[in-house]
A and B are shown apart, each in its own frame.
Chain A
Amino acid sequence: MIANSALAKSAPSRPARRPRRKGMPGPLVMTTLQAGLLLVLLAAWYVLVSAKIFPVFFFGNPVQVFEQIFTWFATGEIFVHLATTLIETLLAFVIGVLSGIGAGLWLGLSPLTAALFDPYIKALNAMPRVILGPIFIVWFGLGIGSKVALGVTLVFFVVFFNVFQGVREVNPVILANARMLGANRRQLLSTVYIPSALSWVFSSLHMSVGMAFVGAVVGEYLGSARGVGYLILQAEATFDVNAVFAGIIVLTAFALVLDFAVTVIEKRLIVGKPK
């Protein structure tokens, strides 16, 4: 009916990549430099320890650290521990996110309840929740239950505050528009409040996964029979510094993999730029 194809097609082009600053090396050169820095640090570690400037007893030896990592993977010894930590992290993440969304929606939509709970939420959030670890071990035992519980308390608040804020700060024009388009209360919840709050959840996914991971590892430190945290705890008990460092490196690599996974999921889930 209306001919305006020329106008309709003139969609805004994506913002062009910013021109490289003068003197900045290209991405390939930068990656090489970054890898080089790592090698230099490892070499410095090796030299300082070999020359006995740093005592081997406290600092370990990078070669033996990597030997330890290799042995763990070669014998398959580490997999049960990695799997345990991964399961704990994922469970804490899923339960924490779901309960955080639920509580955030509920309190966000009910100002009265929010006002009633306000001081308690503030207190719970201010409390260093790692101190709950011992009580969780009493309640849930040394298995994965206590680790998941600890992770959930950490993840919950991150997600809860984001959802709460997301609901409170729903764009009033979008809300009014949905009402004018005939949305009832339930439809407002499912088509405006929840999607709007979810965009806030997605923006905190990295932090949530990190928190779940912290909960799992700290829980393992506090008492466990499996998991990468347990592995480090065992090594520490026998003064095996190399194994401690090996555990730290494995955990770091594991955290990077998790973070990358979140980035991939994020790209799939986030449709429409949250404003």
Chain B
Amino acid sequence: MTLATHPGAHPGALRPAMPATDHGAGSAAAPPPALLFDHVTVRFGAYTAVSDAHLQVADGEFVSIVGPTGCGKSTLLNVAAGLLEPTEGDICVYGRSLAGLNRAAGYLFQADALMPWRTALRNVITGLEYAGTARAEAERLGNEWLARVGLSGHGERFPHEMSGGMRKRVALAQTLIRDPRIVLMDEPFSALDVQTRVLMENELLQLWTTYRKSVLFITHDLEEAISLSDRVIILSAGPSTHPIAEFKIDLERPRDVAEIRMTPRFVELYHLIWDAMKEEVLKAYERNQRKLAD
């Protein structure tokens, strides 16, 4: 596994990634991470989507995974959700090897996942309904969550009567109302326009600050990743995707997603990560070229 080196990095402020292999085998006394990908490989037939991916998300940490579109990021998330079984390697959730669906996790999908035949409120309380919560209690919580995502009074609307941003809010409430310890997000805001997106990102940060979930956030937008996260992990281009570098984001919280992008530290981090990304993507590209030549 190659790791990016940053000759120009600010000493101390930016920690170059530790070799990934050191993570899992480390100190036994430390609390188990919310999510640990233990050398995960995923193959679809002859195609290797993810190769020897090793990464972790600490309890209460906000981690973003950035990589070029179509590099197998969603595959990683599906593995973490238990929707997909890794071909090799293991997923550990709070120290326990995952078998079947990840019950500790909520999943915010990239595509619209709301049930078109249910109103916003009934979509939000779907998870509670599954868990057998009494209807009145579920509706009370549902209305609370609708208010929390800025949709009070819109509970009776159907998904096709709402804008893309509103649907994402409903989906967010639907996921968070179940109070999952881990939240998996797959480019949740990529379909939204820029203004709505910034609003949603700020809301997400506020919710995260309040509830301190462990978040694994996938995006191809580096700005989004930096402004939201504690840590950003860079993936190589597919096939055989694996993490190539990670960066600690030491920006102060609470953050305003729109404003923080103007700060010098943000710009500095952006350039550093982008350089590493570019470098690594290029390296991967050259390697592939050499392989083809041989």
Contact = CB atoms under 8 A, between A and B. Distances in A.
* Interface core residue of B106, B107, B118, B126 (most chain A CB under 10 Å): B126
A126 interface: no
Interface in B128-175: 129-131, 147-151, 154, 157-163, 165-166, 169, 174-175
Given A5-B150, A182-B130, A191-B126, A11 B116 contact: no
Contacts of B101: 179-180
A170 B81 CA distance: 20
A181 B158 contact: no
Contact of B147 (A1, A10, A187, A274): A1
B212 interface: no
Contacts of B109: 173, 176-177
Interface in B67-122: 81, 83, 101, 103, 105-107, 109, 111-118
Nearest to B101: A179
A10 B118 contact: no
Interface in A1-37: 1-5, 7-8, 10-12
A266 to B, nearest CB: 14
A192 B126 CA distance: 11
A183 B107 CA distance: 14
A199 interface: yes
A195 interface: yes
Interface in A192-214: 192, 195-196, 198-199
B258 interface: no
* Interface core residue of A174, A177, A180, A196 (most chain B CB under 10 Å): A180
Interface residues of B, number: 44
* Interface core residue of A3, A174, A184 (most chain B CB under 10 Å): A174
B170 to A, nearest CB: 11
Contacts of B83: 176, 179-180
A192 B150 contact: no
Contacts of B157: 11
A271 B159 CA distance: 10
Contact of A272 (B106, B118, B149): B118
Interface string A99-139: 00000000000000000000000000000000000000000
B127 A191 contact: no
B111 A274 contact: no
A253 B165 CA distance: 47
A1 B131 contact: no
B49 to A, nearest CB: 17
Nearest to B206: A2
B199 interface: yes
B102 to A, nearest CB: 8
B117 A4 contact: no
B166 A180 contact: no
B196 A192 contact: no
B261 interface: no
A176 B83 CA distance: 8
B150 A4 contact: yes
B126 to A, nearest CB: 5
B16 to A, nearest CB: 35
Nearest to A182: B130
B166 A273 contact: no
A8 B196 CA distance: 10
10 contacts: A4-B203, A8-B166, A8-B169, A11-B162, A173-B111, A181-B127, A191-B115, A272-B117, A272-B159, A274-B116
Interface of A: 1-5, 7-8, 10-12, 173-174, 176-184, 187, 191-192, 195-196, 198-199, 271-275
A-B pairs, 7 with minimum CB distance: A177-B113, A181-B127, A272-B117, A4-B150, A272-B116, A180-B107, A182-B130
Given A176-B113, A195-B118, 13 more contacts: A1-B206, A3-B150, A8-B151, A8-B169, A173-B111, A179-B101, A181-B175, A182-B103, A271-B158, A272-B117, A273-B116, A273-B160, A274-B116
